[in-house]
């Protein structure tokens, strides 16, 4: 599970933002739940790619404090970390690892998992992959970059993701 601030979680869930910029590169590849954190990036309104993506604050995946989508972490491009050019697109920032996200499956409704202290109650931090998060508030997200959700949350996300898959 990856914690992302809104409106970026919305953009990822809707397939508009296929790259997530991070200062560390995980070795993990595969399905990844996108958790819309309780924090909002207030400067995001100034970002032209977000304007063109069609940001809709009324969309259910624009919620905060819950899992809004499942994506596939297909790869990570690290070229920009050493100043090299890459073809990761308009969302890629210089000096970042570019997580390439594919196959977005937005959930019909967020899977909310918030504890009384505002942090995710049934999430168990796993061994950190890469470097810790940068929240600085002592939360589990600050101690582990990717999270392992508890069994009840995994079951709900799995069921919601199956419903979100397009029929073939």
* Domains of the chain, earliest start first: 2-164 (2.30.130.30)
pLDDT the model gives residue 129: 39
> Strand pairing partners for 135?
none
pLDDT the model gives residue 166: 61
State pTM to two decimals.
0.73
pLDDT the model gives residue 50: 85
Is the model's pLDDT at 20 over the cut of 90? yes
Reported as a single tens digit per residue, the pLDDT across 99-150 is 999 999 999 888 876 543 444 434 433 333 344 444 444 444 433 455 556 6
Mean pLDDT of 42-49: 85
pLDDT the model gives residue 151: 67
Q: What is the mean pLDDT of the chain?
A: 78
pLDDT the model gives residue 122: 40
Q: Percent of the chain, pLDDT > 90?
A: 45
pLDDT the model gives residue 167: 56
Return the minimum-mean-pLDDT range out of 9-13, 24-28, 83-87, 162-166.
162-166
């Amino acid at each position: 599970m990856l914690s992302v601030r809104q409106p970026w979680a919305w953009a990822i869930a809707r397939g508009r933002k296929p790259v997530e910029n991070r200062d560390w590169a995980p070795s993990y590849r595969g399905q990844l739940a996108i958790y819309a954190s309780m924090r909002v990036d207030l400067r995001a309104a100034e970002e032209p790619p977000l304007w063109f993506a069609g940001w809709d604050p009324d969309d259910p995946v624009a919620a905060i404090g819950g899992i809004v989508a499942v994506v596939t972490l297909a790869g990570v491009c690290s070229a920009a970390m050493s100043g090299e050019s890459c073809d990761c697109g308009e969302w890629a920032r210089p000096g970042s690892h570019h997580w390439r996200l594919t196959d977005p499956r937005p959930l019909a409704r967020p899977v909310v998992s918030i504890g009384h202290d505002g942090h995710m109650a049934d999430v168990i931090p796993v061994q950190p992959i890469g470097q810790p998060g940068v929240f600085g508030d002592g939360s589990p997200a600050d101690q582990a970059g990717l999270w392992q959700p508890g069994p009840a949350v995994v079951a709900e996300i799995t069921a919601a993701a199956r419903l979100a898959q397009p029929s073939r």
